[in-house]
Structure 1
Amino acid sequence: MNAPEIHVEVAPELAVFVPHHRRAGATALAVDGVSTLGHVVESLGVPLTEVGTLTVDGREVPVSHVPAHGESVLVGPVAHPQRVPGAPLRFLLDVHLGTLARRLRLLGVDTAYESTDLGDPALAALSAAEKRVMLSRDRGLLRRRELWASAYVYSTRPEDQLRDILDRFRPELRPWTRCTACNGLLREATKEEVADQLEHGTRRTYDVFARCADCGRAYWKGAHHDQLVAIVEDALSLRQEPVSDA
C-alpha cells in the first residue's frame, strides 16, 4: 500500500528555501499521520518564521495541524508590515550582520549586536530575556523555540538587508540618536567634553559634537557624513511609500 501523501505548494517569496525541483507548482510529500504541518514545512527547508499563513484545501490552519492523505497545502509568506505584539520593537543580530546592525543604530533603532559569536543557545536566551526580534541568515538558529521572535535576512548585501527589514517591520526611525558602536543613546556635547578624543584638525574644524551616554564615544559630521546622510534619507523615503498589507 502506498504511503499517504499531501501536495504542498510554496509561495514564490519562499521559493529560495526549497530545492529547485520543488519550486514550481505543488509537490507531493509523504506524511505519517503524526507529524504536524509545521514540521512538514520545516522539513522542506522553510523556516516557520517566514510563514504567514498555512491553507489546507482552502481553509487556514495552524502549524499544529496534522495533515491527512490527499490534502492540498499552500504555504504563504509573512505579511508586511509584520506586527510583533507585546513589547517595544527591538532587534538582536548575530555576528554576521555587523553592517546591518550599525545602519539600524544609525537610524535610531534599538539594535543589540555582539562582534563575537555567542553561540545559538546564548542568542536565543538573550532574545527571550530582552524580548528582541532575532535577525539572522542561520536557519538552524531561527528554528530554536525559545526565541522571542525571529526573522530570516534574505540578502547578503547590507543595502538590501536594511530595506528588507525596514519594509518588513516598519520600526520607528530616530536618526542620529544612537551610538553605532554600542547602541547607547547620544546626547549633545561640548568640544571640551570630547576634547580627549579629537585630533588637532578636528578640534579646529568642527564645533558640533555628540557623545554616547553609555560608552562615551564622540561623534561629529566628519568625512563620511554625506554617505551616512544618504543611508538615512533612503530609509526615510521608504516611509513615503505605500504600506502593503499583503
Structure 2
Amino acid sequence: MNGPEIHVAFAPELDLFVPQGRRGRTTEVGTDGVSTLGHVVESLGVPLTEVGALLVDGRRVPVSHVPAAGESVAVRPVARPQQVPGAPLRFLLDVHLGTLARRLRLLGVDTAYESTDIGDPALAARSAAERRVMLSRDRGLLRRRELWAGAFVYSTKPEEQLRDVLDRFAPRLLPWTRCTACNGLLREAAKEEVADQLEGGTQRTYDVFAQCRDCGRAYWRGAHHEQLDAIVQEALSLRGGQAG
C-alpha cells in the first residue's frame, strides 16, 4: 500500500503484535483507497480477533470502513469480558494447547481439542460448523475468515493461559462435570461398573466414582486430587468463589 496516508495508533495491549518501531506512537500508513480498515490493521500484524473498537477521528467505525487520506485511527483491544453472541460459549483448541484443554474441561467448560495437527483449514471449518471459539497461538489461523470466533492465547504457561481465558470470556464453571480426556459429561458410577479399570489398591481404598458417558473412563479422588482441586479453587476465586 503506497497511496494516501492515514495515521494509526495501537493500544499498548496490542504491542505483542506490532513491530517494534510502531509501538507507543502514531505511525503513517499508506492505503490504496480500496482495502478495508480491517485489512489494513491485519496487514500491520494484529489479528482482528484481538481488536475491539476502531476509532477514526474519534468516531467508532466497523472493520469494513475504507479509510480516507489523513484519517487518524485508534485501534483498541477487545473489551473484557468478551461477549460471543449467537451460541453457547464453547471452545476449540489446537494441537499445542492440550494442557489448557484439560484444565478447561476440569472446570466443566465445553472444550474440543485436536490432539493431532489437522491443519488450519480443518480447524477453521470445525470452529464454524460447531460455533466454537478457536483458541490458538497461531496468528495465521486466527486470520482465517471461516472462523466462528477466535482468540490469541498470549502466554506459553498453562496456568497463565487459563487465567487469561477465564478473564477474557468469563465462562460458566461447573467443576468435575466433564471428562478431561474427551470432553464428555460425567455421571455417578458404582464401583462395580468401573471395576475393570481399577487396580487392587484403588478398589480397596475408594468408594466414590464417576464415569464418562461418552468414552467410559472412570474417575475418583486419587493421588492427584489435591493438585487438581487447587486449579479448581483458584479458578473459582477469580469468579468470587462461585461455580456456575
1:161-240 → structure 2 map (5 Å cutoff): 161-240=161-240
Partner letter of residue 208 of structure 1?
V
Partner letter of residue 127 of structure 2?
S
Residue aligning to 1:105: 105
Cα deviation, residue 60, structure 1: 0.6
Structure 2 unaligned regions, length at least 5: none
Q: TM-score, normalised by structure 2?
A: 0.96
Cα deviation, residue 153, structure 1: 0.7
C-alpha spacing 1:148/1:3, structure 2 compared with 1 (3 Å):
closer
Residue aligning to 2:122: 122
**In 1, are the aligned partners of 2:3 and 2:33 still within 8 Å (CA)?**
no
Residue aligning to 1:39: 39
Taking only aligned residues, the RMSD between alpha carbons, in angstroms, comes to: 1.1
Partner letter of residue 119 of structure 1?
G
How many angstroms apart in 1 are the aligned matches of 2:29 and 2:104? 40
Residue aligning to 1:9: 9
1:13-92 → structure 2 map (5 Å cutoff): 13-92=13-92
DSSP 3-state at the match of 1:192: helix
1:117-156 → structure 2 map (5 Å cutoff): 117-156=117-156
User: When the two structures are aligned, how many residues end up with a matched partner?
Assistant: 240
Cα deviation, residue 114, structure 1: 1.7
How many angstroms apart in 2 are the aligned matches of 1:191 and 1:87? 37
Q: Percent identity?
A: 81
Residue aligning to 1:244: none
Cα deviation, residue 86, structure 1: 0.8
How many angstroms apart in 2 are the aligned matches of 1:59 and 1:114? 41
Partner letter of residue 152 of structure 1?
F
How many angstroms apart in 2 are the aligned matches of 1:139 and 1:93? 13
Moved over 4 A (4+): none
**In 1, are the aligned partners of 2:87 and 2:131 still within 8 Å (CA)?**
yes
Partner letter of residue 131 of structure 1?
R
Cα deviation, residue 3, structure 1: 4.2
> Which stretch shows the higher mean deviation, 173-182 or 25-34?
25-34
* Deviations 1:44-92, CA, capped at 9 Å, x for gaps: 1000001000001111111111111111110000000111111111000
* Deviations 1:137-159, CA, capped at 9 Å, x for gaps: 11111111111111111111100
Cα deviation, residue 220, structure 1: 0.6
DSSP 3-state at the match of 1:193: helix
Partner letter of residue 141 of structure 1?
L
Partner letter of residue 38 of structure 1?
G
Structure 1 unaligned regions, length at least 5: 242-246
How many angstroms apart in 2 are the aligned matches of 1:132 and 1:3? 38
